[in-house]
Amino acid sequence: MDFNKTIFENRKATGRPFLVAHRGISTANIPCNTLAAYKIAVEQGADVVEIDVTRSKDGVFFVFHPGMEPVFLKCGKLIPEMTADEVKSLPLLNQDEVPTSYHVPTLQEVFALLKDKVYINVDKFWTNVEGITAEIYKAGVEKQVIVKAYAEEKTLEEVEKFAPDLMFMAMAWHKDDVTEQLLNRNVNYIGIEALFDREEDEISTAEYIASMHKKGLLVWCNTIIYNEKDVISAHHTDDVSLTDNPAKGWGWVADRGFDFIQTDWLLSVRSYLERKNRT
């Protein structure tokens, strides 16, 4: 990836959607959101890695999905209730809830690992726009970082004040009622994360995606399932792709023209798209 080029130029050069590794590549003994998970994602060809950010009570930023402490740490506390030293001392649990040698990495450790390698999608950015932005510039990864948030006024004001140059994507359900506003705000708006539960939702149609491309903007789709009760890609998911037919999941997303596919099955998506492009 050439970070001296724009993300639009790099997207065109790939000839396929960007592949986003959701929390890195994790399974068995390797927990998500760890340095190991991100190293594997890079080695397996991710174009983008997604990271979650939280902060200890003494102000150190860590890469961990807020609220998942009862699953991956089982320490009786949330990271915002602990000091950085406490967080660093805790082992992460594997998928069988057995303690591992892996620990929650700091945001700076993750940035150092990923610098000059892949795009970095910083999730939970809206929880501390000023602080996380400072960490991004401290690490020198500002050309690689994509930040996302709902286009709420308070968040947009903070982005305009602290992060106007960072690549910003808005999150929107069903329809896009934010793009025109964002094109007139002091933000580096690059496109939309489309969340939808029906193929007919405006934000998921080929016509809408084509209209965004005409504006020089990108559209992101999630094939991940984080909760089966919350459908965010009209059932065109990793699960459908793996257990039924990838054409119904990843193929549908690619054919619609989406520019990003966020997945928990990076190698499978990559292999399918490579086969698809050869036929």
Structural domain range at position 56: 7-66+106-278
- Is residue 198 a part of any domain in this protein? yes
- Is residue 84 a part of any domain in this protein? no
CATH number of the domain residue 124 falls in: 3.20.20.190
- Is residue 78 a part of any domain in this protein? no
| Measured distance CA(46)–CA(138) in Å, rounded | 24
- Is residue 164 a part of any domain in this protein? yes
pTM: 0.95
pLDDT of residue 278: 64
- Is residue 41 a part of any domain in this protein? yes
pLDDT of residue 279: 55
Other C-beta atoms within 10 Å of 196: how many?
22
Contact between residue 79 and residue 62 where contact means Cβ atoms under 8 Å apart = yes
Going by C-alpha positions, the residue among 223, 235, 225, 146 that lies closest to residue 192 is 146
CA angle 136, 94, 32 (to 5 degrees): 25
- Is residue 115 a part of any domain in this protein? yes
What's the mean pLDDT when you consider all of the chain?
A: 96
pLDDT of residue 226: 86
Residue 142 has pLDDT above 70, yes or no: yes
- Is residue 89 a part of any domain in this protein? no
- Is residue 96 a part of any domain in this protein? no
Structural domains counted in the chain: 1
73: pLDDT confidence band, cut at 50, 70 and 90? very high
